Chains A and B, each alone.
Chain A
């Protein structure tokens, strides 16, 4: 009598009880951890192309810049005593850390509506997880480049690794803050999204991807140095190029990060009910 058998056995067996009474921090960290794994799987799990694109985009940018540089100044010209490829890689890797952090934070709220039914998930978990993955993959790209560079028989030295690391951290924080601001205001006022897209477009040209602050003529410097991303990218260069002493301002950069983070999280809290 299969009918009676299935009726006797409960449909829902005794399962592990739900974990209760977790602290806020614990809930946040578990959600962040879960999202890190989920985003990694979404991005890299299905096809190896995920890895390819992470490396290909900065590599293509560097290739184009190097070709242009070689075309103008000849193949053997050096920049601050370093090979132009090194110079451009350590402009592209820091810059794209910022750029990708901002971009990956966009449209998070709209595309995860169903998930916010779970009270333990908040939009910032997803954004933070994505920004961390972007920053780590750009860091990996940098390391891969160095390994490949040494393997090809060039020399490479890192005069100031801590400055480079601090600059990368600053760009991650900047990217997260700006990404959060864009996402919050872009969700609340959808028209602003277009403004943000336009505002981000010139960033690639004015953020020191292919120049240093020192290269800007002194009388024109004030036109570009308001941009905190330029300062952070410049610090990254200082960490890599032995011959370069950056005039970038650390206190201005720090002030910008703190100010932007303050605006970002205030707006996030203020408009939370519109985001989920």
Chain B
């Protein structure tokens, strides 16, 4: 379970003004269930993931969890582009404290799972965005976390990769929790059970992802 208690997060604007993303947000996310986060661009999906992942600290309030949380993986993944995918994977393994044998085994898995083929040993700058997403996703999946944070990562992959991600999520069910932000409503409905809808400054929690997607679609239609 991840619990956010009265979390306030603001960003500085020009001068003394601040943009408030969340004010007094209290939210409880259950463990071992997949959670979809929806909302329009700029609603705070990535900020919420970064707060949960500890990459960002709240101005006020607490973020607690009962398990390990992966770093929030998104399209801005911080790969060094001049070195190969293998070297980037090795780097992540290293900073996570793997010794050489463990890193070897993990890299072997990443290579197979990402299906990058010969590109695995080529510089990341030669990758397409889908290939980068595949690499980031595979690296994330090679570690045993209780919560995986995924920020629109699976949206850019091709069909084969999206299917693989779906099967992975299914396999993880009951073992770990995936918290993903996405604009792909069909994918959210298929992969997640619980929905969190960020609407303006309010955060709505739905026990059923279908209801969250319906509410989101309803609001979008109203606006249009």
Contacts and interface: CB of A to CB of B under 8 A. Distances in A.
Contacts, number: 102
B204 interface: no
B55 A45 contact: no
Contacts of A46: 82-83, 123
Which residue, A10, A18, A46, has most C-beta atoms of chain B within 10 A?
A: A18
B214 interface: no
A15 B71 CA distance: 18
The interface size bin for chain A is 35 or more
B82 A15 contact: no
A45 B91 CA distance: 15
B49 to A, nearest CB: 9
A119 B53 contact: yes
Interface stretch (A107-115, A174-182, A201-209, A259-267): A107-115
Contact of B95 (A10, A118, A276): A118
Given A114-B76, A119-B71, A13 B54 contact: no
Contacts of A18: 68, 96-97, 143-145
Interface string A1-36: 000000000111101111110100011001101100
A15 B142 CA distance: 7
Contact of A19 (B77, B78, B96, B164): B96
B98 interface: yes
Nearest to B76: A114
Interface string A43-55: 0011000000000
Contacts of B92: 118
A117 B72 contact: yes
A121 interface: yes
A273 B113 CA distance: 35
Contacts of B56: 273, 276
Contact of A114 (B79, B96, B98, B113): B79
Interface stretch (B27-35, B102-110, B186-194, B205-213): B102-110
Interface string A104-141: 00000000111111111100000000000000000000
Contact of B78 (A17, A37, A115): A115
A5 B24 CA distance: 50
Nearest to B78: A114
Nearest to A10: B171
Given A34-B94, A117-B50, A15 B106 contact: yes
A15 to B, nearest CB: 6
B168 interface: yes
A267 B71 CA distance: 26
A160 B21 CA distance: 60
Contacts of B97: 18-19, 22, 26-27, 30
B94 A41 contact: no
A113 B76 contact: yes
B79 to A, nearest CB: 7
Contacts of B80: 38, 41-42
B54 A119 contact: yes
B78 A38 contact: no
Contacts of A116: 55, 78
A68 B108 CA distance: 57
B167 A117 contact: no
A4 B143 CA distance: 26
Interface in A146-186: none
B105 A16 contact: yes
Interface string B70-89: 01111011111011000100
A18 B56 CA distance: 22
A13 B143 CA distance: 11
A15 B109 contact: yes
A34 B91 contact: yes
Interface in A186-217: none
A257 B87 CA distance: 36
A15 B144 CA distance: 8
Interface of A: 10-13, 15-20, 22, 26-27, 30-31, 33-34, 37-38, 41-42, 45-46, 112-121, 273-274, 276
12 contacts: A18-B97, A46-B83, A113-B78, A114-B74, A114-B77, A117-B53, A117-B71, A118-B95, A119-B55, A120-B96, A273-B57, A276-B55
